[in-house]
Amino acid sequence: MPAEDELNAKQKPEWAIDPEAIRRRQQAREAARLVVELAEEVVSGAEADCREIVRGEILAALAAQHPPATAPAITPMRDEESRRFGRRLIPFGRYKGHRIDSAPLDYLLWLIDQNRQFIDDLRRYCLSPRIQAEQTDE
C-alpha cells in the first residue's frame, strides 16, 4: 500500500502552492537582505557603492552557476518547409500582415537582431535592483 505522502502528492494539482518552496524563498530573501545590511555596516558611508558591488558579485556568481546556453546549431529549412513557413503572416512590425516570403531578407534579419536585443534587455530588466525590490515587497 502506498505511503500517505505518496497519495497526497498524487492528489495535488500541478498548480498547487508549495508552502516549503515559499518558505525557502522567504528565507533566501531575508538572507540576502542581511548580507547587504552587514556589508553596508562594514563600509559605512559608502552604502550605494557597497550595494552595487554586492549586486555585481551576485550577478557574477549567478552567471558562473548558469552559463548562457550555447545556441543549438540551426539547420536550414528544407524547400517544402521553407515554402510553408514563407506563407505565414508576419504578426507585427512594418510588414505586419504580409507573408514572410514577401518581406525583404534584410528586414527579416533585422527582426532576428531586435529579438535578441529584447531578450537580453528583458533579462537585465528582471535582474535590476528596482524590479528585485518590487518582487521582495510583494
What tens digit of pLDDT does each residue of 62-100 get? 766 766 666 667 788 899 999 999 999 998 888 999 999
Domain assignment of residue 60, yes or no:
yes
Determine, yes or no, domain membership for 12: no
Buried b / exposed e along 3-19 (16+ C-beta atoms within 10 A): eeeeeeeeeeeeeeeee
pLDDT of the residue at 33: 79
pTM of the entire structure?
Answer: 0.39
If asked whether residues 116 and 76 sit together in one domain, one would say yes
Residue span of the structural domain in which 52 resides: 17-67
pLDDT at 34: 80
Per-residue pLDDT tens digits of the chain, which is 138 residues long:
555 555 555 565 555 677 787 888 888 888 877 877 777 777 777 777 777 777 777 777 776 676 666 666 778 889 999 999 999 999 888 899 999 999 999 888 888 888 887 777 778 888 888 888 877 766
Does residue 77 sit in the same domain as residue 59? no
43 and 92 in a single domain? The answer is no
Instruction: Answer yes or no: is 37 within a domain.
Output: yes
Region of residue 45 (left: phi > 0; alpha: psi -120 to 50; beta: else): left
Number of domains into which the chain is organized: 2
Please give the Cα distance from 50 to 60 (Å, whole number).
15
Asked if 59 contacts 127 with a C-beta cutoff of 8 angstroms, the reply is: yes
Q: What is the CA radius of gyration of the chain?
A: 24
Picking from 48, 46, 68, the residue whose alpha carbon sits closest to that of residue 56 is: 48
C-alpha to C-alpha distance for 82 and 78, rounded to whole angstroms: 6
- Whether residue 77 sits in one domain with residue 42: no
**Residue 92 sits in the same domain as residue 129:** yes
Torsion of CA 112, 115, 120, 124, to 10 degrees: 170
